[in-house]
């Protein structure tokens, strides 16, 4: 599979962290709404219904019953708003996303990033049967900037991945648990590898990281026991917790961030020129 159209790089900024959280994690929105409404109704209760006055006015037993009733009412109202918010998220997931996501001629499922004019790959039609995967930086004349969370996770037959120059982010768990994956070639345009992007791939043994990469997040290559060594570009300035297995030897540049990280976290490493 290959891209049929040219790639014209623009200067649009990549998706912000907050935009990604709200776009990919509606549960985060639900939590904020639920806590917010609970605090709102709790404040109204304490302001408008003085529970001490109720005890004085109605006595201890009846006061307890009345206050418990008000507390249950607040809880029910908060739950009501929770389910309203959850319904909105489900509607968005099932109907809005269904309308805006499209399938390219080569089988990639994409949707707009909402922040810039690019698209992100969210799935692949033949995920269960694909063996060798080439991911282009343009699809149907649209620029691809990101491979979204879990886009190719648990692809059972996938053995190799090559990503074309132009893609900047590999999302959370994008290639997680691809048990037959043996090699991954990542482009020089790539600046961020999110948490668990390639974790739990027991046969992954060949990994090429290019200069220009900035961030390797938590557990990005965790539980990849066949990955004996990997060269960390000098440009990397953040490596998350347990980003690699302890069995992986890091090939680092002298006095680089990667060398300092390896020493601090007690990883085996070799200096390269």
The predicted structure's pLDDT at residue 114: 56
Mean pLDDT of the chain: 79
Question: What is the Cα–Cα distance from 154 to 157, expressed in whole angstroms?
Answer: 9
Contact 194, 167 (CB under 8 A): no
Residue 60: DSSP 8-state: H
The predicted structure's pLDDT at residue 76: 74
Question: 3-state DSSP call for residue 7?
Answer: coil
Q: Is 255 exposed, middle or buried (0-12, 13-18, 19+ CB in 10 A)?
A: exposed
- Summarize pLDDT for 200-215 with one digit per residue, the tens: 999 999 999 999 999 9
- Summarize pLDDT for 80-128 with one digit per residue, the tens: 766 776 666 666 555 545 546 677 767 788 877 655 567 888 888 888 8
Q: State the pTM of this model.
A: 0.65
Mean pLDDT of 50-61: 69
Lowest mean pLDDT among 25-34, 49-58, 60-69, 114-123: 25-34
- Summarize pLDDT for 6-48 with one digit per residue, the tens: 223 333 333 333 444 444 445 555 566 666 666 666 666 655 5
Question: What is the Cα–Cα distance from 258 to 239, expressed in whole angstroms?
Answer: 8
Q: pLDDT: is 5 or 123 the higher one?
A: 123
The predicted structure's pLDDT at residue 11: 33
Contact 203, 227 (CB under 8 A): no
For tokens 């806590």, name the residue.
35
The predicted structure's pLDDT at residue 17: 39
Q: pLDDT: is 224 or 94 the higher one?
A: 224
Q: What is the residue-wise DSSP string for 78-133?
A: HHHHHHHHHHHHHHIIIIIHHHH-EE-TTSEEEEE-SSSS-EEEEEETTTTT--EE
Phi-psi region of 134 (alpha: psi -120 to 50; beta: other; left: phi over 0): beta
The predicted structure's pLDDT at residue 183: 96
Question: What is the Cα–Cα distance from 141 to 123, expressed in whole angstroms?
Answer: 18
The predicted structure's pLDDT at residue 15: 36
The predicted structure's pLDDT at residue 226: 96
The predicted structure's pLDDT at residue 95: 52
> For residue 266, is pLDDT > 50?
yes
């Amino acid at each position: 599979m290959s891209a049929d159209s040219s790639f014209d790089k623009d200067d649009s900024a990549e998706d912000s962290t907050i935009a990604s959280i709200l776009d990919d994690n509606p549960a985060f929105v639900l939590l904020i709404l639920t806590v917010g409404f609970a605090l709102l109704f709790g404040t109204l209760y304490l302001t408008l219904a003085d529970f001490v006055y109720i005890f004085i006015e109605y006595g201890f037993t009846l006061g307890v019953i009345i206050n418990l009733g008000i507390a249950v009412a607040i809880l029910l109202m908060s739950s009501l708003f929770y389910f309203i918010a959850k319904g909105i998220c489900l509607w968005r997931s099932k109907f809005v996303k269904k309308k805006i996501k499209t399938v390219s001629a080569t089988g990639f499922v994409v949707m707009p990033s909402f922040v810039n004019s690019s698209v992100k790959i969210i799935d692949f039609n033949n995920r269960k049967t694909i063996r060798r995967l080439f991911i282009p930086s343009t699809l149907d004349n649209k620029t691809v900037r990101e491979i979204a969370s879990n886009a190719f996770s648990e692809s059972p037959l996938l053995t190799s991945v090559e990503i074309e120059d132009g893609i900047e982010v590999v999302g959370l768990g994008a290639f997680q648990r691809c048990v037959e994956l043996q090699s991954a070639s990542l482009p020089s345009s790539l600046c961020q590898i999110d948490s668990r992007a390639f974790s739990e791939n027991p046969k992954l043994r060949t990994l090429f990281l290019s200069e220009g990469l900035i961030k390797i997040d938590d557990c990005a290559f965790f539980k990849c026991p066949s990955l004996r060594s990997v060269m960390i570009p000098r440009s990397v300035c953040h490596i998350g917790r347990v980003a690699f297995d302890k069995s992986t030897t890091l090939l680092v540049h002298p006095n680089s961030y990667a060398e300092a990280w390896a020493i601090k976290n007690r990883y085996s490493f070799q200096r390269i020129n």
